[in-house]
Amino acid sequence: MSDDEKRIGVFICHCGSNIAGFVDVPAVTEYVKTLPDVVFATRNLYTCADDGLTSIRESIKEHKLNRVVVAACTPRTHAPLFQGVCQEAGLNKYLFTFVNIRDQCSWVHMKEKEKATEKAKDLLRMGVARARLLQPQEEARVGVTSAAVVIGGGVAGMSAALSIADQGFPVRLVEKESELGGFVRQLSSIYQDRKDAGSVLKSIIDRVKGNPNIELFLNSEVTAAEGFVGNYDIVIDTKGKERKDKVGVIVLATGTKEYIPKGLYGYGQSPNIVTLTEFEGLVKARKLPKMSSIAFIQCVGARGQDKTYCSRICCNVSLKNAMNLAENYKNVLGLEEAGAATEAATPMEAPAEGGERRRGRRGRRGGAEGSEEETTLAGPKLEIVIFNRDIMAYGIEHELTYNKAREKRVRLVRYTPKNLPQVSVEDGKLVIDYYHETLQMQRKMSPDMIVLATPLTAQADAKDISMMLKVPVGQDGFFLEAHVKLRPVDFATDGIYVCGTCKGPADITEAVSQGIAAASRACIPLARGYVQPEALSAYVDSDVCSGCGTCIEVCPFSAIRKNEQGKAEVTIAACKGCGNCGATCPENAIFMNCYSDEQLLAEAKAALQEVKG
């Protein structure tokens, strides 16, 4: 093939006016025809539309094209489509090149049509230079061990395990603790309907335990994993007892832990200053002290205070707890154990009448001199204040909860990061000194309890798991998916998937969806029975290789080993084609199949041609 005459076909997309509005596409097309080895060049209104794809398919046959270049949007979204068309027309998909003249040209040079057109010509010259050096690649087929391991027995992990098992594949579910359930075990209720968290959890756990395809490993950890998609050798350690196992795919659902706000808002100075999760625990155990006022402080240690991100769920959790207290407080506080259902409902009904509500507003205005008085107008004799930077009650139901909470006289007091509420403990009494943004004045309140809403954070062992499985974690320690939108539960490494709170704060609904999503992705190789990794891999020229082993040290995926001859050898299925070994090899014996020095230099040098004249 390499000796054959090169016949390059170029297809330039107008993308409606997205490209053609800012780049002179006819001029670029004419220019491309003058480039070496280009035997055919055309332009389409939309290359990705049916007629555009047909034109590629037919031109490959008609002009005997053996290289195809498409200049359009971005390979990140559209390369697979065009590669598929090439393949249909009998052209190896690795003989295709994408040139980005929209996202990285027409859209970013909207006021400079002439220069943008020059740039588009350069980019095409580069693409054609690259296309000339492309070689067809064979994708190796590798068999798959028909089994999965799910690491983490929380809601996400159990959902994933159930879904994989229901599709007929054996699953090992590995949980570090002695019980299933994960983070949710600590919670009293779930939002929005405030159902008992325990019973929700129990229904999932029962299904897991009753599923014959799921093998459960409690008090266990996966301590080693070697291999690649379809073929992982793992070790499951149960209290020192090791079991060696083979699986085809790995699902990570290692969960989260709550941020402990050491040194923030008097945490640790009083048993009545607790985190949101500790509060849930007190509610669950019915151990809340009697109280007449309670304050929630949102974003503790989040959004720049220590952790950078917003933990998403805490606003909804605080609102849920506030509503629970407002509507149900005697029951929640264990004041009236018997007949609580009837007792609790009546006195705390929201004032439905307009008159009542108006009175409430007047009352609030009137109570400006002391916040303590403000709540006496509310149904329950319990003052509830949520100090917040802004309430993130995202989603359909949550906004309603937010509105209801306001009707129930849950006070939402804003603070700014520059003016944080100050908490002090004076003789066991809690005091919050805060600046009221609306009233523009300093205020004080003495709640009986302060609940600090802290973010969910990455597990301490996330880094170790990241090292073991060779999957990345982001700056905040959460696992990092391959693409936030297009591949949200995949890792860049094939065969390993991620779901639940180990990839960022999520609520139960999201954890379940992600668990099922990860399971559906993980079942693809299992159901197909083989994997066909992209042929981006490194290739070692064993005549040149001196066996120094430097490449083995740098390979992030342990995809290179020394063979019997003492030379480096690449395990094609494990190689992801990053090129670290290619740039490393001191003997220049490693060649990257699709990104060789020669190809990269040809592409880059083509950009400079005009400069040299």
Partner 1 sequence: MSDFEPKIIVFLCNWCSYAGADLAGVSRYQYPTNIRAVRVMCSTRISAHIVLELFKEGADGVMVSGCHIGDCHYINGNLFTERRVKLAEELLKLTGVEPGRLRLEWVSAAEGERYSQVITSFVKQVKDLGPTPVLKDPKLATRLEAAVEAAKSFRSKTLTSKEVKLTGKGNVYEEVLDPKKYDLIIERAIEDEYQKSLILTLSNHEARSVKELAKEMGQPTDQILDHVVALRAKNMLALDHIEGTTPKYKAMVGGA
Sites of contact with partner 1 (CB under 8 A): 74-76, 100, 102-105, 107-112, 115-116, 118-119, 122-123, 126, 466, 470-475, 480, 482-484, 492, 536, 548, 550, 553-554, 556-557, 576-580, 582-588, 592, 595, 597, 600-601, 603-605, 607-608, 610-612
Our CB check for partner 1 shows the closer of 180 and 540 to be: 540
Helix ranges restricted to H, 276-313: 276-284
Our CB check for partner 1 shows the closer of 300 and 482 to be: 482
State the minimum distance, in angstroms, from the CB of residue 503 to partner 1: 13
Q: Which residues pair with 342 in a beta bridge?
A: none
Our CB check for partner 1 shows the closer of 461 and 597 to be: 597
Angle at 294 between CA 288 and CA 300, to 5 degrees: 100
State the minimum distance, in angstroms, from the CB of residue 25 to partner 1: 16
Helix (H, G, I), strand (E, B) or coil at 39: strand
Residue 524: what residue type? I
Q: Which residues pair with 236 in a beta bridge?
A: 222, 243
| Cα of 367 vs its chain's centroid, Å | 46
Helix ranges restricted to H, 285-339: 314-332
State the minimum distance, in angstroms, from the CB of residue 311 to partner 1: 18
- What is the rounded CA–CA span in Å between residue 372 and residue 448? 12
| Segment 604-613 long-range contacts (CB within 8 Å, at least 24 positions apart) | 604/126, 605/129, 606/122, 606/125, 606/126, 606/128, 606/129, 606/130, 607/122, 607/123, 607/125, 607/126, 609/125, 610/122
Our CB check for partner 1 shows the closer of 235 and 492 to be: 492
Place of tokens 């709640």: 447
Our CB check for partner 1 shows the closer of 46 and 107 to be: 107
Give the C-alpha distances (Å, rounded to integers) separating 410 from 217, 350, 361, 364, 403: 44, 11, 13, 12, 10
| Cα of 596 vs its chain's centroid, Å | 32
Q: Running DSSP on this structure, what letter comes out for residue 347?
A: T
Task: List Cβ neighbours of 263 (8 Å cut-off, separation of 6 or more).
Answer: none
Q: How many helices (H) and strands (E) does the chain have?
A: 17, 30
Our CB check for partner 1 shows the closer of 46 and 591 to be: 591
- What is the rounded CA–CA span in Å between residue 43 and residue 58? 14
Our CB check for partner 1 shows the closer of 37 and 534 to be: 534
Our CB check for partner 1 shows the closer of 280 and 603 to be: 603
State the minimum distance, in angstroms, from the CB of residue 302 to partner 1: 18
Task: List Cβ neighbours of 54 (8 Å cut-off, separation of 6 or more).
Answer: none
Provide the token pair at 497. 């998937």
Radius of gyration of the chain (CA): 31
State the minimum distance, in angstroms, from the CB of residue 177 to partner 1: 28
State the minimum distance, in angstroms, from the CB of residue 463 to partner 1: 10
Our CB check for partner 1 shows the closer of 75 and 170 to be: 75
Our CB check for partner 1 shows the closer of 14 and 398 to be: 14
- What is the rounded CA–CA span in Å between residue 368 and residue 372? 10
- What is the rounded CA–CA span in Å between residue 595 and residue 470? 22
- What is the rounded CA–CA span in Å between residue 555 and residue 561? 10
Provide the token pair at 191. 């939002």
State the minimum distance, in angstroms, from the CB of residue 51 to partner 1: 25
Provide the token pair at 328. 């149900």
Nearest to 265 by CA among 274, 277, 256: 274
State the minimum distance, in angstroms, from the CB of residue 70 to partner 1: 14
User: Going by DSSP bridges, is the β-strand pair 256-258/456-458 parallel, antiparallel, or unpaired?
Assistant: antiparallel
* Contact indicator for 109, 18 with CB cutoff of 8 Å: no
State the minimum distance, in angstroms, from the CB of residue 517 to partner 1: 20
Our CB check for partner 1 shows the closer of 175 and 481 to be: 481
Strands (E), 289-382: 293-297
Q: Running DSSP on this structure, what letter comes out for residue 331?
A: H
CA atoms within 13 A on the CB side of 7: 14
| Cα of 540 vs its chain's centroid, Å | 35
State the minimum distance, in angstroms, from the CB of residue 102 to partner 1: 7
Q: Running DSSP on this structure, what letter comes out for residue 368?
A: G
State the minimum distance, in angstroms, from the CB of residue 493 to partner 1: 9
Place of tokens 């008992």: 196
Our CB check for partner 1 shows the closer of 405 and 555 to be: 555
Our CB check for partner 1 shows the closer of 366 and 474 to be: 474
State the minimum distance, in angstroms, from the CB of residue 595 to partner 1: 6
State the minimum distance, in angstroms, from the CB of residue 592 to partner 1: 7
Our CB check for partner 1 shows the closer of 98 and 267 to be: 98
Angle at 447 between CA 442 and CA 453, to 5 degrees: 90
State the minimum distance, in angstroms, from the CB of residue 324 to partner 1: 36
Our CB check for partner 1 shows the closer of 393 and 468 to be: 468
State the minimum distance, in angstroms, from the CB of residue 527 to partner 1: 26
State the minimum distance, in angstroms, from the CB of residue 13 to partner 1: 14
Provide the token pair at 42. 């055309």
Our CB check for partner 1 shows the closer of 349 and 461 to be: 461
